[in-house]
Amino acid sequence: MSAFWSEKKVFITGITGFVGYWLAERLLEQGACVVGLVRDCVPESNFSRFRLADRIVTVSGALEDYGLLERTINEYDIDTVFHLGAQTQVGVGNRSPLATFETNIRGTWNLLEACRVHASMIRRVVVASSDKAYGDQKILPYTEDAPLQGSHPYDVSKSCTDLLASTYFNTYGLPVCITRCGNIYGPGDTNLARLIPGIITWVLKGEPIVIRSDGMLVRDYFYVRDAVSAYMLLAETMEARSVVGEAFNFSSGLRISVLDMTKKILAVMHKTSHPVQVLNEARGEIRDQYLSSDKAARLIGWQPDYGLDEALAETVDYYARLLQER
């Protein structure tokens, strides 16, 4: 355990998401006082299943409510903010761009402004972004100096999120860092439209695997425990202020196609074969996306702890136990 987090007052947006849950658990283990923003309660989420609300302060509301965010930071003496809250699905963004922009863009400037107003209290703000902020690039892997050029609603919302965070650092000196990760997966993701939990659940139920794309999209898959370690290490490093204002990619280093990931999951589940339907219906998807995390290794000494097989095995075990409980 690190003494760093003892008695820190930490505000997490998006705490009911599976990344928010794992981050809160790690912070509680290390003695932090956690305040979480809760918009919706999802019974299947780890937040609900493991009664996280009984161990933290919960604030009910949405990122679009500036007054609520400002009150929360002030009343609970917040010194650290992890901004994980967002509309995170590409498909939802394509269907409902305005709602995505409201949550991801307005929600971010609301939070950053509330932090600016109480800058005397705020020591660090970690804004969780995405590789989608880079948009479609000719040069891969993405590095932090690549331009932010999202072209579809979700991607654009993340590009704007990052620019807003940089603005609040450059103009007001707000202690902000930006994290850009690939496709985060792991135990507790309730969004079965995502590839990894969807495949695992279909196989456990004996149903065909359905691939929306042509199966050739290449992605960077990142285990949730590694993501949490990355966020926390970055926040701790910000105490020295040498990295404040910077953006950091965090990556497992994997570059794997949808079909190859499908085969890998089947192998981990000890399945020699399983029916797969390739629909080739996905639209508004970038073909290849993967990150370089060399900057994080060089400046803050971060490296992933989990290999793909170990991470997938833990994830499969979680969903198998979940189905048994139902």
* Catalytic sites, residue numbers: 154
Distance CA 22, CA 274 (A): 31
At which residue do the structure tokens 């305040």 appear? Answer: 35
β pairing state of 124-130 and 176-181: parallel
Instruction: Tell me the one-letter amino acid at 41.
Output: C
Residue 211 backbone dihedrals phi, psi, to 5 degrees: -100, 115
Burial class of residue 241 in the structure, from the number of CB atoms within 10 Å of its CB (0-12 exposed, 13-18 middle, 19+ buried): exposed
Separation between Cα atoms, residue 7 and residue 98, nearest integer Å: 38
- Sign of dihedral through CA atoms 206, 207, 210, 215? positive
Nearest residue to 184 (alpha-carbon basis) of 317, 1, 23? 23
Instruction: Decide: 250 and 230 in contact? Cβ < 8 Å.
Output: yes
